[in-house]
Every structure is written in structure tokens, then in C-alpha cells.
Amino acid sequence: MKRTFAPTLVAGLALLDLIALAVIVIPFLSPYDPIAEDIAAMLQPPSLAHPFGTDQLGRDILTRVAAAGRVDLALMVGVEAAPFAIGTAAGLVAGFYGGWPRRVITLLSDALIAFPFYLLVAVVAFVTGTGVKGIFLTFLIMGWIIFARTVTGATASLASAEWVESARVMGFSDLSILVRQMLPNVLSQAVTVLVSDMVALLVAIVTLGYLGLGIASPTPDWGTMIADGQSFLSTRWWVSTLPGCAVVLVGIALALIGDGLNDWRRSA
């Protein structure tokens, strides 16, 4: 029976593609510089000249939202790559061999989970400074856990299968079994977790920007934009609300993709 993609997966991918296209194209087409100040145009409401209005420094919000999307989405994808690879590899080893490798992974993950996330962010920011380096190091320390736990369980359930023993009898090495047999069987679960985890990661990136621990000004960032406009929220709603809407749209797209991948995997 041929598998078909879930409607939620198609809708999520379409929405994410539109968002990605917008954040790539708009800064090129816009006549405004996302960081150039124009005091004469400060706090203008949405109009034909400024579809998303302007902020307290006269900067075009639509251009800044798109430019910030480039930064935040690229950071979201880039930051997830290393934890995904490390966690998947650790989970394969722990699930396949069990014993002390699994105990070590479990002990490390339990210890890190017990450590408050934003306290770790503050410590890393104090040592390395705010910005991309601190965000990357924080998620490198914490982000691999969810992938390791997912892949460990999935691999352990396959490790005792008869085909694994048959592969060993046929002369296949453990590395070959892990890479060629185990990995393809558990990768779909890891990718589903990856997409779902990106939602939490995006929220964390935006929150760090809001708290002043994320991307440093003047580089546009959704969290910083939301924080900059909070004092005008009751009178100039567009300054904070429209960057917040961009975050919500990306979150919806990723949630739809995650649900769709989960449905597609279960239908296998």
C-alpha cells in the first residue's frame, strides 16, 4: 500500500515555504534598510508606505521582521544540527549495547535536565557574552538529550531482533549494523522529534532576545523587537504584535509538520 502524506504535513510545509520565501525576498525588494533610523517616520501606523508600520526609531517593521526571520530561522536550524547528530549517535550506541553506555547517557541526561535551562543560559552568557555563541553553546549542552532518549528507546527495541543476530553471523560489523540497519529504522522518529523540538528552540531564541541575552542589537531579532515595543503596546500595537505574529506563524508551521510526520510514520 502506497503511503500518502498527511494533509497537516503538506499544509505545514507550504506555510513554512511561504515564510522562508518572504524572509528571503522582502529585504531585497524593500526600499528600507532594516537597521537605518528615520526619526521623522517614527511610530507610524501600518500604511501603503509601511505595511507593518514603523518602530520608535522610524525603522520599517516589515523589513525588520523579514530580516529578523533570516537571523532567527537560520539560528534555529544551525543550532539544532549538532545536538541532533550527537544525540542520535549517542542514542544508537546506548540502545544497541545497553549496559554502561546506556547508564552513562541516562545519568548525564538526568543531571542536565535537573539544571534550570535559563540559569544555564545566564551562566553561559556570563562566560561567553550574549549572542550566537552563547545560544549555540547552551543548546549544544542541553539539546542532545531529547534525541538521545528517543533514539535509545527505539534502538533498544530493535537490538534483540533476530535479523540483528543474523547480520552478525553473516559477518557484518556492529558499526555496519548501526549505520546501515539501525539508523534508517530510528531516523524517522528522530526527525519527528527534531521538528517538534524546533518549536521549543524558536521560543527559547525569541525569549532570550526579549530578555537581552540573545542576538545583540542592531541586528534584527524577533525577541528584541517584541521587547522594544512593549512600552507602546496599548497605543502602538503593531510594534510588538506583528513580530510576535511571525513567531506564531512559524510555530504553527512546525507544529503541523511535526504532526504530519508523526501521522505519516505511524501509517508505515
User: What ranges do the domains of the chain cover?
Assistant: 7-31+49-266
pLDDT of residue 265: 67
Closest of 180, 100, 194 to residue 148, by C-alpha: 194
Write out the three cell numbers for 49.
508606505
Q: At what angle do helices 61-97 and 238-266 cross, to 10 degrees?
A: 30
Q: What would the grid cell of residue 232 be?
A: 507602546
Amino acid at 125: A
pLDDT of residue 1: 43
Residue 5: C-alpha distances to residues 40, 187, 255 (Å): 51, 17, 15
What per-residue confidence (pLDDT) applies to 267?
64
Start-to-end CA distance of the chain, whole Å, equals: 9
Q: What are 55-67's pLDDT values in tens digits?
A: 999 999 999 999 9
State what percent of residues in the chain have pLDDT above 90.
28
Length of the chain equals 268
Closest by CA position to 63, among listed 36, 81, 44: 36
Phi-psi region at 99: left, alpha or beta (left = phi > 0; alpha = psi -120 to 50): left
8 Å CB contact between 240 and 233? yes
- The tens digit of pLDDT for each residue in 151-202 reads 888 888 887 777 777 777 777 777 787 877 788 888 888 888 888 888 888 8
Q: What class, spelled out in words, does domain 7-31+49-266 have in CATH?
A: mainly alpha
**Average of per-residue pLDDT across 127-139:** 75
Quote the distance between the C-alpha of residue 119 and its chain's center: 20
Kindly report which listed range (60-74, 101-115, 248-262) carries the lowest average pLDDT score: 101-115
**What is the pTM (predicted TM-score) of this model?**
0.84
